[in-house]
Structures are given as structure tokens and as C-alpha cells.
Amino acid sequence: MNIAENLQKVREQIAGAAQAAGRRSEEIVLVGASKMNDAAACRAAIAAGIDALGENRVQEMLEKLEQGAYEGAPLHFIGHLQRNKVRQVVGRVALIQSVGSLALLEEIDRRAAQLGIVQRILLEVNIGEEPSKSGFASGELFAGAERALELPHVEVQGLMAIPPEAETPHGNLHYFQKVARLYVDIGRDLYDNRFVYLSMGMSGDFRDAIAAGANMVRVGSAIFGARKYV
Ligand SMILES: *Cc1c(COP(=O)(O)O)cnc(C)c1O
């Protein structure tokens, strides 16, 4: 496993997908999903020029922060965040991508107020309406985005989605297109076109996500190799 080579290959695929969609590859932010990969792997990805790293478990992130795993790149939180762990994340990451409920949104605002900061976030949409997944249902998303406008210590910079496991090649393209429509509509109607990031696409489907309009992709195994679950 060579992280620099893998990263290079992913960049080339991103460039191809961007070009096919008539966009510039520099518009696409590559976030390395580094869960279950150690600090050395994170540093290797940063040395190879990854744009940001994303973690999805609070404990693992805190341990790797202590080890200086993320020095030189912005850190994002991309996993399911429990309200009782909000204080361990707010202020420590550049972007919380996975804000999927009003309760979580309000808790983040409260904690950011205590710290005297504005926490940048994305709203997560449960686009496949899967009961097992977190995120706002599409029908609740406008209300969530509206509520966030009243909270002075959060800044919504866009949307994030994890569609269902695809059963056929390109099986998630229609989900990506749905999220892209929500991104455009909410960004225009509520946020004066100030949205910046549409985060969708992982190792298996980031090209389709880019085709649908993603400008931030979260790629794990294609960069770090398959995760070994023990
Ligand atoms: C692990 C993870 C990814 C990347 O998954 P791969 O299939 O390994 O690319 C993306 N987003 C989130 C939220 C993740 O937890």
C-alpha cells in the first residue's frame, strides 16, 4: 500500500470526472477518510498533498490529535456525532460535516458560544431515508437550514450526504442528483448563494458524485487501502 501513489491515482480520477462534467479539478476538495488508519498514515497523506482529513469517531480523533496526526491539513468530523460528545469536537475541527438533527445543531451552537467561536458545519441529509442512518430527512432539511440561520455560533457551509449502498454500478447517481438539487435550492432560497461545499462521494462512487455536482469528496480505502476490522 502506497498512500502517495493511491492519492495520485484518485486525483487523476477526480480530474477526469471534473473534466467530463465541464468543471476544473481544482474545484474539488479531496478529504481523506482516515478512520482506522494510524497517525503515520495520516501524515503520509498530508505529505502527499491531501486537502483535508476526516474522522468519524471522537475517541480515535482525540488520540490521533494528541499524536499530531493532522498537522498541516484541516481536520473535519464526518461521522455520527452524539450530543454528549459535542464539546470534544467543537473548536477542534475546521468543519463538522455530519450535522443531522435540530438537537445536534443547537448543541453545537451552544458549545461554540461558550468558546466564543463560530463553528463551520454542513447539514447532513439522509437522502435514502434509511432508518439506520442519521441525517435530516429531505423534507426536514429546509427547516433545519432555516433554524441554523438563527444560531449565531454556527455557519452552514453546505450539505453532506451518504446515500445507500449501491446495488448496481452508478446506482446512486439519482441520489446524488437529488442532493445537488437541494443544495442549489436551499443555497439560493435561504443562504443568498453562500453555500460552498457539497460533500458526497466515497471510494466507490466519487466520480458519479462529481458528475452530479459534488465539490468535496470523502475518500478512504482508495487512498489508505482496505480497512482491517478487528
Ligand atoms: C469511511 C467514510 C468514507 C470513505 O469511505 P471509503 O468507502 O473507504 O472511501 C466517507 N465518508 C464517511 C462519512 C465515512 O465514514
Q: What is the pLDDT of residue 1?
A: 62
Q: What is the pLDDT of residue 224?
A: 97
Q: Note the pLDDT tens digit of each residue in 129-153.
A: 999 999 999 999 999 999 999 999 9
Is residue 228 predicted with pLDDT exceeding 80?
no
**Count of domains observed in the chain:** 1
Q: Which residues, in sequence order, are CB contacts of 123 under 8 Å at separation 6+? A: 99, 100, 105, 136, 141, 144, 145, 148, 156, 158, 159, 160
229 domain-assigned: no
**What's the chain's average pLDDT?**
97
Is residue 216 predicted with pLDDT exceeding 80?
yes
Nearest CA, atom 7, ligand 1 = 203
Q: Check pocket membership of 172 for ligand 1, CB cut-off 6 A.
A: no
**Which domain does 212 fall in, by range?**
3-224
Atom of ligand 1 at shortest range from CA of 160: 13
230 domain-assigned: no
CATH number at 155 reads 3.20.20.10
Is residue 49 predicted with pLDDT exceeding 80?
yes
**How far, in Å, CA of 108 to CA of 20, rounded?**
38
Could you write out the DSSP letters of every residue in 87-121?
HHHTTTSSEEEEE-SHHHHHHHHHHHHHHT--EEE
Distance of CA 103 from the midpoint of ligand 1 (Å): 24
Q: How many CA atoms lie less than 13 Å away from 8 in the CB half-sphere?
A: 7
193 domain-assigned: yes
